[in-house]
Amino acid sequence: MSDRASAGQFLDAAIGLLRRLRDEETDSITAAGTLLADTVADGGRLFAFGAGHSSLAAQDLVYRAGGLALMNLLVVPGVVGVDVMPAPLGSALERVDGLASAVLDSSPLRAGDALLIISLSGRNALPVEMAMSARALGVKVIGVTSVAYASETKSRHSSGTYLKDHCDLVLDSGIAVGDATLTHDDIPAPFAPASTVVTTALLQAVMATTATTLADRGVEPPLLRSGNVDGGHEWNARVMEQYRDRIFYRH
């Protein structure tokens, strides 16, 4: 396999996964966008959470040009991204029982809010407990995961359940167990993961649906503009002031 061929194969694999989303997940995407639009219209707040590399897709929704100003990042210290040192500690924290409940107890989440929980495998204690505890608070939960893990791996939560089992809606990324998309005769492990590309696109499709659903109802979506276009900062300042009681990343 040449360098050019492997690049093309990865892009083809990613395109195939995106096409699957379009062909198989449109109804779920529409339902998720509608749920978020309902939350916004009813005065609720929006939050996103992901651990490790799943946090990248969550972070992409927050304070984003062209994105919803009301989307806030639910932060769990030590598991958001790979900045924690040593990096494997983040993976270990995902398996700690009780951490999710402690985080929610000190978070601004309340009944009527909506929470996107992103976890590729959905098998670790943290996302499972996050979903269970959030729903117990009266929060609507949208799980973004690969459903295949539930049939091909063992849950790491004491209940034996997965993230998908504790959500109001589930969005299936369709990523194969192990994430990597390519193999090579001379490389002993599969490589080229696609979950970030696919999950980010999936969530931006949900955000687009939320915005258009609000607009169709006669409600102006609270969108941010790029600060690198003329008038962008002024626009964003107006939106943030209007919705200051529902935005938490400014403090």
Contact 88, 126 (CB under 8 A): no
Give the percent of the chain with pLDDT over 70.
92
Q: What is the largest CA-CA distance in the chain?
A: 58
Rounded Cα–Cα distance for residues 155 and 165 (Å): 11
Rounded Cα–Cα distance for residues 95 and 228 (Å): 40
Mean pLDDT of 17-46: 97
Rounded Cα–Cα distance for residues 62 and 2 (Å): 38
Query: For residue 51, what pLDDT is reported?
Result: 87
Q: What is the dihedral of CA 190, 196, 202, 205, to 10 degrees?
A: -140
Mean pLDDT of 188-207: 96
Query: For residue 2, what pLDDT is reported?
Result: 59
Rounded Cα–Cα distance for residues 229 and 226 (Å): 6
Nearest to 208 by CA among 92, 64, 107: 64
Rounded Cα–Cα distance for residues 67 and 160 (Å): 36
Q: How confident is the model at residue 88 (pLDDT cuts 50, 70, 90)?
A: low
Rounded Cα–Cα distance for residues 236 and 65 (Å): 9
Query: 47 has which bridge partners?
Result: 72, 115
Rounded Cα–Cα distance for residues 206 and 150 (Å): 23
In sequence order, what are the residues at sequence separation of 6 or more whose Cβ sits closer than 8 angstroms to the Cβ of residue 229? none
Mean pLDDT of 35-59: 95
Look over the chain and give the mean of its residue pLDDT values, rounded to a whole number. 92
Reading the block at residue 220, the tokens are: 């102006």
DSSP symbol at 98: T
Query: For residue 234, what pLDDT is reported?
Result: 97
DSSP symbol at 145: E
Helix (H) or strand (E) holding 105: helix 99-105
Rounded Cα–Cα distance for residues 121 and 232 (Å): 38
pLDDT at 62 over 60: yes
